[in-house]
Structure 1
Amino acid sequence: MHSQPAMAQDVQSSYYLLLATILVLPLLLLKLRPHRHGVETNLPPGPWRLPVIGSMHHFVGALPHRAMRDLARRLGAPLMLLRLGELSVVVASSASAAREVMRTHDGALATRPLTAALRALHKDGFGLVFAPKGEHWRQLRKLCVTELLSTRRVRSLRGCRQAAAATLVASVTAQSSSTSEPVNVSSLLSTYVTDAAVRAVVGDRMGDRDAFLACMDEGAKVATGSSLVDLFPSSRLARALSGTARRAELYSAKMSRLMDVVLEEHRATRSATRAGDEEEDLVDVLLRLQTDGGLHIPLEIGTFRALITVRPRSVMRCERDLGDDAAVGYPKKLRRAQDEVRGAFAGESRVREEALPDLRYLQLVIKETLRLHPAVPLLIPRECQEPCRVLGYDVPVGAMVLVNAWAIGRDVESWGADAEEFRPERFDEGGRCAVDFKGTHFELVPFGAGRRMCPGIALNVAVMKLALASLLFHFDWEIPGGAAPHDLDMTESFGTTTRMKNDLWMQATVRVPLPSL
């Protein structure tokens, strides 16, 4: 359930920032002041740098997580230091480096750096993801772990997910039956995850769902937009050229108006019998806790908005589940997963979520997909608040610290010579049987670890499993036009999350139809 700051997400746009910097270079050289973090004796190694822009030229035309992995390999450094304008960025690219960042020095690195956009977006209150380390953050974390995203709460929202999955299956069925054309799996899964998330957060009682969803998408773009002021915080010119704060303020005002409507709708329909009901959506839970005095922090509108407008992101890897099985030459793996699902639900008309934990091979497919394709390849950044040494190197105070989960998941030292290969069976071999993504095995960290680990793992995985199992149960899948598996374009793009650059189109044949209503 992640959103990601501009410098972690949008380094790809550094090409345009580079052009802008060149245009104003004379003025910047006059305005820039030294940006010192104190005395460091042994900084991590880094690539060669240019004046003013530092290491930014290494990312022109490249996906940031891939470029960082390649730089780390060339340097032979699991920890490296980049300079992006005035910013110091430390990147961890191995399991050992990740362990020190997220466990050994978790306390020193437990706060988040804030871009200009994020500061403007959260001026009315922070949600859990970007709240600075402190009592407010600790109380929000407790709220999420014990109430909003607890195992019990996620289980109680099963009906929301099953309704969204039924809509997904019906949509694929309608498209595959009405035309011989392939279906857009990416688009349908995007609609599914949005539907499942909105049902969980606001239920079915929201008047203008489309406006709410459009505003959420707009917020993600505002939060992840690049800004010169983030690269050159000491430059008055950069601040003058940036319109980031203004765009963020306009978005906040729009979302606040929509949130007022959502809250009024929920207050109007809540009743004494509904309070505490197992069918509560997340807005209901917050309103109940507010009324009962169960909140130990002030529920400011900004905090409320931030808590309920973060959607599950990892489920977007469902398209990769299908794509990797079929596209990289592994149709036998696709068939094995499909046989397992159909065998478990033989004679039934749909997938039951409560039975999914018993499907072992499906669990392996999920693990392998998250290993190769974490939804947030550069985990949400941390900021160094006090002197610490990682792998013997000094981390500058004030530096942004990134964990390259994508590179760690493909590290041959952890995963062997076939680290780039999609092979779910690896998790059934030797010492990897116990490896999981819940924060204790640092060679697999798609959700992070430590104090800042994503608290929504259970919700993310539940949404993901149900979608994949439903698609495998109800349909047979083929590549359109009889193309070979390697002909599918699996190129990635980078944004709020990393996903396929081009939509995945597949030919679907109904094998287990949904029952008629």
Structure 2
Amino acid sequence: MDIPLFSLYSVLLTAASLILFFFFLWRREQRLSLPPGPSGWPILGNLIQLGKRPHESLYALSVKYGPLMTLRLGMRTVVVVSSPAMAKEVFKTHDNILAGRMVTEAHKSLSHDKSSIIWADYGPYWRHLRRISTVELFSPKRLEALQHLRRDQVFSTIRLIFEDKGKVVNIAHTVFCTSLNLLGNMIFSTSVFDPHNPASAGLKDTICELMVVAGKPNLVDFFPFLRFLDPQRVSREMDRLFKELYDFSDTFIQKRLSQSVQRKDSDKDFLDVLLDSRTEDFTLVGVRALIAESTEKIKSKLIRVYKYISAIFQTSNCDLWFQELFIAGTETTTTTIEWAMAELIRNPQKLNRARQELDEVVGCNRKVEETDLDRLPYLHAAVKEVFRLRTTGPLLLPHKATSSCEIGGFVIPKDTQVMVNVWAMGRDSSIWKNPLEFTPERFLEGESNSKIDYRGQDFELIPFGAGRRMCPGLPLASRMVHLVLASLLHSFEWKLPDGMSCEQMDMSDDFGITLKKAADLRAIPTPRLPHPIY
């Protein structure tokens, strides 16, 4: 018997209505279980409310909705953490569940995320990379063995500044080049940047451009169905920039592979260590983990391990490590030191106190050595204060819930993105007295915040993150920041050009992957040590 067309339409319409009804009911129940948050626009959600300075916008929203709030950014559900108590829940209590990584589209270029210690999925392969980085690359023994390379590069920079005879110094550019060569010596046992060589100058330009492109807001991150269009050309630009970095490191890798000389362990650089580790059977790393998995997960795990292995060989095993070391080790270090110099020049009394400490510990007849750093409490306090007030990564890197969990009485569903606003935590007046002021003294012995450190155990100050996904390069970054900053302060007096006063300094910032100083810090150095020392 034929069904009348009208009746068929009625049935289909009723079915569609019921499906929509239950879908919206499910979404409403899910929303009720999530932390509170502002209502958003259709389709766009809360994207418009973020503006050009998301760290500040999220801080303002957290004041109204609390330290754990939910936003809908396009098609993505995001939970934002804005207090040390909630950060502790994320990085300690539920660290194993929230150790996933929400990968931005920019970092999927050339399968970058598949073999990246920063962006890789939390699992056996990531744990293998983490072990190499902590045991082989950034261990105290390895860093101690390479101490002379850092010293020589910093001394070289001080000598170049001295030889320029009082010319205006662009602090960011100088520190960036120093960091590049310092890392180049630690990785390849050679300097990689020569300002007079256009070929090496291209490396600096590539890294700077990559940071700009990767830091742009990308529609694809919020609306994944636009991926095939790449409307802002982010993926295409990142493909080009990653390839340039891979080509750069390939020259060093191939040259080292062609050499038959075996170096002693004490003489090995990072390239030697990573070339040694590439002989390990990466397949077994994944297979051993599969033994403990249920049968339902084996197929997906095998596919993932295959992707990891493919990505390793596609990037010649070591290329991606070096690319991440150069990007993370130059940009963040440069930004931190520039902010530290700017804040100290802007506060002459605090600058004089730091310099007086250096004169007492180091004296005026030699340069600063790494062995001096542990005896410079005020310098350490100043760096901590920069980490608090001028944190380089205001929102850290995005985490992802690998399964559902409960925080503060609210449910965080699987695949939810979790962002931690450390910039907001640095301005919490319940933790910090006069939080907008640059006050290193708050970290000195006897003060209420003196015991707070930045190594991931005190959640009031976590510029490097905390927990499993904490930045593995922290030991190296800490040494570099303190040594370069101490050397600049100890070797030279600094004054602003063109008769500019401290009060006239531009202290505004630009939001991106890092929170950089909007206007480069330029200052005129005057030698303060006997000239033969330089």
Letter in 2 for 1:382: H
Q: Deviations over 1:70-101 (max 9, x none)?
A: 2212x151111122111112111111111111
Distance 1:339 1:258, change over 3 A: same
2:62 matched residue in structure 1: 72
Work out whether 1:197 is the aligned partner of 2:183: yes
Equivalents in 2 of 1:190, 1:206: separation in Å?
A: 12
1:226 matched residue in structure 2: 217
Equivalents in 2 of 1:495, 1:124: separation in Å?
A: 19
Distance 1:252 1:184, change over 3 A: closer
1:287 matched residue in structure 2: 275
2:257 matched residue in structure 1: 267
2:171 matched residue in structure 1: 185
What is the 5 A alignment of 1:233-312?
Answer: 233-234=224-225, 239=229, 241=231, 243-269=233-259, 271-272=261-262, 274-276=263-265, 278-290=266-278, 299-302=312-315, 304-310=318-324, 311=326, 312=329
2:514 matched residue in structure 1: 497
Letter in 1 for 2:109: A
Work out whether 1:415 is the aligned partner of 2:437: no
2:19 matched residue in structure 1: none
2:333 matched residue in structure 1: 315
Tell which deviates more after alignment, 332-341 or 278-287: 278-287
Tell which deviates more after alignment, 92-101 or 476-485: 476-485
CA contact (8 A) 1:176 1:507 kept: no
Q: CA deviation at 1:242?
A: 5.4
Work out whether 1:93 is the aligned partner of 2:82: yes
Work out whether 1:54 is the aligned partner of 2:67: no
Q: CA deviation at 1:293?
A: 7.5
Q: CA deviation at 1:160?
A: 2.2
* Match for residue 458 of structure 2 among 434, 441, 450: 441
Letter in 2 for 1:309: Q
Equivalents in 2 of 1:306, 1:233: separation in Å?
A: 25
Distance 1:97 1:244, change over 3 A: same
CA contact (8 A) 1:110 1:383 kept: yes
What is the 5 A alignment of 1:156-171?
Answer: 156-171=145-160
> Which is richer in helix?
2
Q: CA deviation at 1:437?
A: 0.6
Q: Deviations over 1:351-405 (max 9, x none)?
A: 1112211111111111111111121111111011211122222223222111111
Equivalents in 2 of 1:466, 1:146: separation in Å?
A: 23
CA contact (8 A) 1:171 1:188 kept: no
Q: CA deviation at 1:432?
A: 2.4
CA contact (8 A) 2:249 2:322 kept: no
Work out whether 1:39 is the aligned partner of 2:30: yes
Cα RMSD after superposing both structures: 2.8
SS of 1:414's equivalent in the other structure is coil
Letter in 2 for 1:421: E
SS of 1:195's equivalent in the other structure is helix
CA contact (8 A) 1:40 1:396 kept: no
Distance 1:483 1:261, change over 3 A: closer
Distance 1:55 1:245, change over 3 A: same
Letter in 2 for 1:306: L
Q: CA deviation at 1:225?
A: 3.9
SS of 1:83's equivalent in the other structure is strand
Equivalents in 2 of 1:445, 1:37: separation in Å?
A: 34
Q: CA deviation at 1:347?
A: 4.5
Q: Deviations over 1:404-432 (max 9, x none)?
A: 1111122111113x111111111123442
CA contact (8 A) 1:314 1:461 kept: no
SS of 2:77's equivalent in the other structure is strand
Equivalents in 2 of 1:132, 1:190: separation in Å?
A: 30
Letter in 1 for 2:81: A
Letter in 2 for 1:307: W
Distance 1:242 1:491, change over 3 A: closer
Work out whether 1:325 is the aligned partner of 2:314: no
* Match for residue 403 of structure 1 among 401, 408, 420: 420
Distance 1:109 1:64, change over 3 A: same
Q: CA deviation at 1:481?
A: 4.2
Q: CA deviation at 1:318?
A: 1.0
1:486 matched residue in structure 2: 503
Letter in 2 for 1:56: L
Higher relative contact order, structure no. (Cα contacts within 8 Å, ≥ 6 residues apart): 1
Structure number with larger C-alpha Rg: 2
Distance 1:283 1:164, change over 3 A: same
* Match for residue 427 of structure 1 among 443, 446, 449: 443
* Match for residue 386 of structure 1 among 391, 396, 403: 403
Question: Gapped runs of 5+ residues in structure 1?
Answer: 1-32
2:304 matched residue in structure 1: none
Q: CA deviation at 1:176?
A: 4.1
Work out whether 1:509 is the aligned partner of 2:526: yes
CA contact (8 A) 1:475 1:509 kept: yes
Equivalents in 2 of 1:206, 1:168: separation in Å?
A: 14
Equivalents in 1 of 2:54, 2:256: separation in Å?
A: 42
Letter in 1 for 2:528: R
Q: CA deviation at 1:295?
A: 11
CA contact (8 A) 1:38 1:396 kept: no
Q: Deviations over 1:278-303 (max 9, x none)?
A: 23221111113335889976653435
2:126 matched residue in structure 1: 137
Work out whether 1:349 is the aligned partner of 2:340: no
Q: Size of the alignment, in residue pairs?
A: 474
